[in-house]
Homo-oligomer: A and B are copies of this chain.
């Protein structure tokens, strides 16, 4: 099973897979400045809520590593860190992992300064980013194990968008049970919604499952109801952009529709996400900000008229 490295720290740069080039070309990009990382997140070269969190953590380190400061002036360092974190945080509004990672990096800096001063703060921040990456690997693997327990009685799984390895560091969230299943000798057949308008299902989910040797059937979003009616789907599993305190879940446009269709066909519908995707400060889904991207974004299909707003993760 070929496992792609979505995001890695290599030497002194971050290496990502440029996901806008998939599936036609597998292109790696080395990022060594916060401005390039901001663009990479905004333009979806790195995407998927957990991967965005990791990218933001490394991006913040890249932003601060050249910053010259007086080790005694802790306030100046923290002010600069906050300024750069706010800049990165403006790249994508919906993914809570982005804010979670930036907050965690700031908390790490505060703790380090309080205990050891600002002398080695940059090294400490790099370590924290690497720890976030490592924890993501472990978290996704755990999601895979728990999820596989839930799903192992089923054979065919429908998923929407991409919450696979390419949305995280390695195993993914929604697809983690499928990868764990493969390791344990159970091969699921995955139906992937193509996920208009940006086709993350067609370009990314189908690609990564195919790379991993897992059978995948790509369908247009509007076919989901029909394949359910034809008894081709046993269960649905998706990732999440953000989950409110009451469990309300925000995810890629179309997820709500798939959930209604699953209900209409009596199919179980699962959301797979790490704790970092929960936002306990938000009581319910109605107040989660929903990203609506520009009308001119999709170069493949020209729209004759009207809006095509969506959460772009």
A interface residue numbers (CB < 8 A to B): 23-24, 160, 192-197, 199, 202-203, 206-207, 210, 216-226, 229, 253-254, 256-258, 260-261, 263-264, 300-308, 310
Contact = CB atoms under 8 A, between A and B. Distances in A.
Contact of A225 (B219, B256, B306): B256
Contacts of A306: 192, 206, 216-219
A222 B301 contact: no
A223 B301 contact: no
Nearest to A218: B306
Given A210-B304, A260-B260, A261-B257, A221 B219 contact: no
A141 B242 CA distance: 49
Given A194-B196, A196-B194, A223 B310 contact: yes
Interface of A, secondary structure class, is mixed
Contact of A257 (B218, B226, B256, B310): B226
Nearest to A308: B220
Contacts of A305: 206, 210, 216-218
Nearest to A225: B257
Contact of A310 (B206, B220, B254, B256): B220
Contact of A253 (B194, B223, B254, B261): B223
Given A221-B220, A223-B310, A304 B261 contact: no
Contact of A224 (B217, B257, B263): B257
A301 B222 CA distance: 16
B254 A220 contact: yes
Given A207-B304, A210-B304, A260-B264, A195 B219 contact: no
Nearest to A257: B225
Contacts of A253: 220, 222-223, 226
A197 B218 contact: no
Nearest to A192: B306
B195 A222 contact: yes
Contact of A229 (B226, B256, B261): B256
Contacts of A24: 302
A-B pairs, top 10 by smallest CB distance, nearest first, are A222-B254, A225-B257, A217-B306, A206-B304, A218-B306, A221-B222, A196-B220, A260-B264, A206-B305, A221-B221
Nearest to A207: B304
A270 to B, nearest CB: 18
A223 B309 CA distance: 9
B256 A218 contact: no
Contacts of A202: 301, 303-304
